[in-house]
Structure 1
Amino acid sequence: MLDLILCVDDDPITLMLCKKVIVKASFSNNIITAKNGEEALEYFNSILNKEENKLPELIFLDLNMPVMDGWEFLDSFSTDKYSEVNSTNVIILSSTIDPEDLEKSKKYPMVIDFLSKPITTDMLTYLNTKLS
């Protein structure tokens, strides 16, 4: 079981479902959420500034969000500024079926998988084997 997961999605229903499935599957002790990439980066900034001390072990990241989308988040998260924290594994969880998105995701070393929404307990079982 993971200690902390960050779910980044602009849809409150998706975030609620994500939390429910993760709790039901006993996949993580704690779940924090962000509505977009900018909020997620703010969380990592608070870790770098020593205001927070819990680094998520996994990020579920949507791609299509307002303010800062998933790609913009990954571009920022990949920079030297976040080198202390960007070893966190990222799972892209998106409704997109564009094969170019899948290819693009492979250029980010922290992205370990690209899965289709919605999150399911079977998905978490699969990820458990991949993460262990």
Structure 2
Amino acid sequence: MLHKILCVDDDPITLMLYKMVIAKASFTEEIITAKNGQEAMDYYANLKATNDTRCPELIFLDLNMPVMGGWEFLDNFIKKEYQEFNTKTKVIVLSSTIDPTDIEKSKTYPIVIDFLSKPITKEMLEDLKDKL
């Protein structure tokens, strides 16, 4: 079981479903949510400001969001200033469309360990346990 995960998605219903499925699968002790990439970056900036090293071990990341999308989040998160977090955190991209271009692009980010189609399921989480 993971200690903490971060779910980043602009759809509140999707976030609620993630929480339910993740809880049923006993996948993590704590679930943090963010409505877009900027909220997720703000979360990490707060961890950094308070010297809190207890960061999520996994991020479920949507790609298409207002304010800051998933690609922009990844471009910011992999910067050296977030190295204390991005070396401990893995990312699963979750998208409602499986565009081969997006799948290939996700492979260029070393912290992205998988690209999955929404919605998340208990079976997906079981498979992920093996990868983590």
SS of equivalent to 1:39: helix
Q: What are the residue-to-residue correspondences of 1:1-132 with 2, within 5 Å?
A: 1-50=1-50, 52-87=52-87, 88-131=89-132
Q: In 2, distance between residues paired with 1:96 and 1:54?
A: 32
CA RMSD of aligned residues (A): 0.9
Count of paired positions: 131
Structure 2 unaligned spans of 5+ = none
SS of equivalent to 1:6: strand
Q: In 2, distance between residues paired with 1:64 and 1:52?
A: 29
The letter of the residue matching 1:125 is E
Q: In 1, distance between residues paired with 2:19 and 2:52?
A: 21
> What is the Cα deviation at residue 111 of structure 1?
0.2
> What is the Cα deviation at residue 53 of structure 1?
4.3
Deviation by residue 1:51-72 (Cα, 9 ceiling, x = unmatched) = 6442001000000000000000
The letter of the residue matching 2:110 is P
Moved over 2 A (4+): 51-54
Q: In 2, distance between residues paired with 1:54 and 1:126?
A: 24
SS of equivalent to 1:84: helix
TM-score, scaled to structure 2: 0.96
Structure 1 unaligned spans of 5+ = none
The letter of the residue matching 2:91 is V
Identity percentage of aligned residues: 66
Q: In 2, distance between residues paired with 1:12 and 1:51?
A: 29
Q: In 1, distance between residues paired with 2:54 and 2:69?
A: 23
